[in-house]
Chains A and B, each alone.
Chain A
Amino acid sequence: MIPEIGRAASLVALVLALGGAVAATAGGRTGRSALVEAAQRAGVGVFVLISFCFALLTYAFLTFDFSVRYVASNTNLGTPFYYRITGVWGALEGSIILWAWMLALYTLIIVLRHRETTREFYPWVLAVMLSVLAFFLLVMTVAASPFERLAPVPADGRGLNPLLEDTGMITHPVALYLGFTGLTVPFAFAIAALVTGRVGDAWITMTRRWTIIAWYFLSLGLLIGGWWSYHVLGWGGYWAWDPVENAAFMPWLAATAFLHSVMIQERRRMLKLWNISLIILSFTLTLFGTFLTRSGIIASVHAFTQGAIGILFLSFLALVVLVALGLVALRWDALRAQGELDSVVSRESAFLLNNVLLIAATFTVFFGTVFPLLSEAVRGVKVSVGAPFFNQVNIPLFLSLIFLMGVGPLIAWRRASTDNLRRNFLWPVALGFLAALVAFGAGVRPTLAVLTFATTVFVSATIALDFGRATRARRRTGERLLPAMGGLLLRHNRRYGGFLVHFGVLVIAVGVTGSHAWSVQTETTLKRGEHAELAGYRVRFDGLSASEESNHAKVTGAFTVSNGRVLDVLRPAKKFYPQQQSPIAAVDYRLGLTEDIYLVLGDFARDGTEATIKLQVNRLVSWIWIGGVVITLGALLAILPEARRPA
C-alpha cells in the first residue's frame, strides 16, 4: 500500500512541479498573472505532496513496514525509536526526499512572503525554484525512489548503518541541506535578474537575509560534521579533506566570498557581474557536491552509490551551468558597468582581495579533489590527493584571510587616509607583533602557530578597538555602559553580527592550529593492570566486558585515566553488528577546554587479558565547537530585523 501511494504522490508532485515551472516561465514572458498564480498554486501543491510523502515514509519507518525496500535496508526490528525517525534520511533515497522537501519549503516561503515584494522577479524565481524541485522529484521517482516495493516482504530489515546511530545524524544532514538548498534562493533571484535584465541591486537586497541564513546553515552543517567525525568515526580528527567534505566546503567558500562582495554592490553599486557569477558558482558547487557524493566517481567515505543517478546529476549540473553562464554572456553589456575607486587602499580593495583568496581556495580545493581523475585520464596513473596536500596549500590562504578579517571592517570605503589607517591599525598591529614575540618567547615553536596567534590577536584587537570606540562615543551622550553596548549591537546588528561571526572564526582558527600543532598520540598493547602514559596522563587497562544491545553485540574496555589523581574511567568499545563486515569502534573521550583525552579500542584478546589502544591527547579542539556557538550568535544578531532608521 505505502509504496504505491508514495510513488503516486511523488509522481503527481513531479508533474505539478514541471507544470508549475512551465507556467511560471510563460507567465514571466507574457506578463499574464493568471499563469503566475497557477505556478504559485503548483508550488504550494508540491509542498503539500512532498510533506505527505515524507510523513508517509516516516510512518513506514516507525511501523517497521518492510514491504518498503528503503525501510528494510535501513532499519530492523532492533533499531531504537529515534533512529527510526532519523533513519528516514539515512541513505540515498531519503536524502533526496529531504532535499526536495526543503526546496519545497523554501518555495512555499517565497510564495507566502515575497509575492508582493519582488514584482518582476517573482515569476522567474518561481520558475527556477520549481525547475530545481522538478529535477529532484525526477530523481526521486525515476532513479532513487524511497517507495520501491520489496517482495517478498522480509521478516526483518538490514538495519541502519551503525555509524549513523548518533545524534549527529539528526542534525548534520538537516543543517547542511538547509544550507545547500538555501543557496537556491539567491541563485533563483540572480537568474531572474539576468532574465529580466534588472541586474542592479534589487535582487541582492531581496536575498540578503536568505544568503546569510543559507551560509549559516552551511557553516553549522560543516561544524556538526566535524563534531560527528570527531566523536564517532574513531580516528581522532574532525576534518580529513575527504571529497565529500570538500564538496560541502567549496560552496561554503564561494558563498562566503559572495556574502562579502554583495556588500560592495550594496554600497557602491559595483561588481554586478562578479556577484552574479559568485552566486552561480556557489549554487553549481552545491550541485557538484551532490553529484560527487552520489556518483561514485571519486572514492569517498560518504559515497552513497554509483550508477544511473550520477548521470542524472551530471546532466542537470551541465544544464544549469550552461544556461546560467549563457545568460551571463547574454547580459554581458549590462553587467559590465565601470567601477570607480578613489584609492587602492580602501575597503573595496580589501573585500576584493578577500574574494580573490576565497575563490583561489575554492578552485584549489576543486582542482585537488578532481586531480585523481585528471591524472588517470591523462597519465593512466591513479594518485591520491589527501589531507597533507590540502593542509599545506590552504594554510597560507586561510591565514591571509584571517588577517584580512582584521583589515576589512575597519578600513575606510573609497579611500583610506593615512590618518584612518593609523587610528584603526596602529595599536592592533603593535599588539599583534607583541603577541608574536610573547608566543615565541614562551616557547611556542611551530612558526605557523606563532603566526596564527599573532594574527588572531591583531584581528581581535581591531574588533575590540572598533567596538570600544563606538561604545565610548555613545557614552558621551550620557548613556551607561551596558545599555550603550547593547544599543550598539542592536542598532548596527549587521556590523556587529559580522564582527561576532569573525570572532567565532578566530576561535575556530585557534582551535584548529592548536589541535594540529600540539596534539600527541601513541599506540600500545596493554595487559590488564598495565598503564600507558602520554602528556602527563596515565591510562590503566582494567578489563573488558561484553554486552548485548538491541541490535548489536558490544565489547567494552574499562580504562582508568589519571594525572596524579583519578580523573575518569573511559569505556571505548567495539560494536559488532550482524550485518557489518567488521566491528565499529566506539571511542570514548574526556573533553576539556584545552585538552581532550581520546581513546580507541583496537585489537583485544578474547579472554580480556590484553588490549591494544590508540591514545590521543588533542589540544584546543573544544575551541572549534565553541567557535561554532559564537558564529551562531553572530549570525542570529546579523539577521535581526533592522532597527528603524531615518530614511
Chain B
Amino acid sequence: MRRAWRWLIPLSAIPVLALLAYGFRTNPRDIASPLVGRPAPAFALTAFDGTAVSLEAHRGRVVVVNFWASWCYPACYEEAPVLERAWRTYRDRGLTLIGVDIQDKREAAEKFIRDFGLTFPNAQDLTGKVSVDFGVYGVPETFFLDRRGQIRAKHVGALTDEIFRANVERLLAEPEGKPGPA
C-alpha cells in the first residue's frame, strides 16, 4: 500500500494538464457581456452627414448598433457589405441600423463609408463614451436591441448574413410591449 502512494506523484500532474487542455476550447478574448438582457445605454451622436442620431428616436423598432473602425481589417471590411445588404432588406420591416465609428480619424471613416456605399446612419464616437457605455472592447462588435430598447444579443467579430438574419428575424417577430425571454 505504501509503495503504491508514490505513483500519485506523476498522477497529480494530470488535473493541471487537463485544465490546460480545456484552455483550447476557450477564447480568452471572448468576454460575455453583462449588458445582455438589460436596457441599452442611451446615446446622442451626430452622424457624418450632420443629422442627429439617438436611440430613443427609434423606440418601437428593432435596433442594431454596430461598432466599427476604418483600421479594423479584415473583419470590418468583411462585415460592411453584409450590413449594407441587411439594411436594404430590413429597413422597411421595422429595423434601424446604426453604425458607431470609434477611435478613428474622420477622413478615414468617411472614406470607408464611401467605399462600401453605406447608406445607414453612421456617427463618430469621439470621446469613446458610447463604446465604453456599451462595454465595447474591440471592433467589430454588434448589439441587437428589441423594440423596448433592451439589449438581447451581442456579437463579437464580423457578422455574416445568417447571423444577422437569425437575430433580427427573432426580434422582429416580437410585437412591441410584450416582454420576450431574456
A→B interface (CB under 8 Å): 291, 295-299, 310-311, 314, 317-318, 321-322, 325-326, 328-329, 332, 370, 372-374, 376-377, 381-382, 581-582
Contact = CB atoms under 8 A, between A and B. Distances in A.
A370 B6 CA distance: 26
B29 A377 contact: no
Contact of B23 (A297, A318, A329): A297
A174 B37 CA distance: 50
A329 B71 contact: no
B31 A382 contact: yes
A332 B10 CA distance: 12
B21 interface: yes
Interface in B24-57: 24, 26, 28-29, 31-32
Nearest to A307: B24
Given A382-B31, A581-B73, A321 B10 contact: yes
B132 interface: no
A144 to B, nearest CB: 17
Interface stretch (B12-20, B80-88, B159-167, B174-182): B12-20
B9 interface: yes
Contact of B10 (A297, A325, A372, A374): A325
A332 B23 contact: no
Main secondary structure of the interface of A (DSSP, over half): helix
A299 B138 CA distance: 14
Nearest to A313: B20
Contacts of B7: 326, 329
Contact of B24 (A297, A328, A332): A297
Contacts of B20: 291, 297, 314, 317, 370, 373
Given A373-B26, A382-B32, A322 B10 contact: yes
B32 A321 contact: no
Nearest 8 pairs between A and B by C-beta?
A297-B23, A325-B10, A299-B28, A329-B6, A581-B71, A332-B6, A321-B13, A326-B10
A317 B17 contact: yes
A484 B118 CA distance: 83
B6 A582 contact: no
B10 A329 contact: yes
B6 A373 contact: no
A377 B19 contact: yes
Q: For the side of the interface on B, what is the size category?
A: 20 to 34
Contacts of B21: 314
A314 B10 contact: no
Nearest to B26: A376
Contacts of B31: 382
Contacts of B28: 296-299, 372, 382
Contacts of B13: 318, 321-322, 325
A298 B32 CA distance: 16
A591 to B, nearest CB: 32
Contacts of A374: 19
Q: For B13, B16, B20, which residue has the most chain A Cβ atoms within 10 angstroms?
A: B20
Contacts of A322: 10, 13
Nearest to B16: A370
Contact of B71 (A326, A372, A582): A582
A310 B20 CA distance: 10
B23 A373 contact: yes
Contacts of A376: 26
B137 to A, nearest CB: 11
Nearest to B72: A581
Contacts of A372: 28
Contact of A311 (B24, B26, B73): B24
Interface string B88-116: 00000000000000010000000000000
B10 A310 contact: no
A604 to B, nearest CB: 12
Nearest to B103: A582
Given A297-B26, A581-B71, A582-B71, 7 more contacts: A321-B17, A325-B9, A325-B12, A325-B13, A373-B19, A376-B26, A377-B22
A584 B31 CA distance: 26
A560 to B, nearest CB: 29
A320 to B, nearest CB: 10
Contacts of B10: 321-322, 325-326, 328-329
A318 B19 CA distance: 12
Q: For B9, B19, B23, B32, which residue has the most chain A Cβ atoms within 10 angstroms?
A: B23
A429 B54 CA distance: 69
B19 to A, nearest CB: 6
A447 to B, nearest CB: 36
A314 B6 CA distance: 24
B24 A310 contact: yes
Contacts of A373: 19-20, 22-23, 26
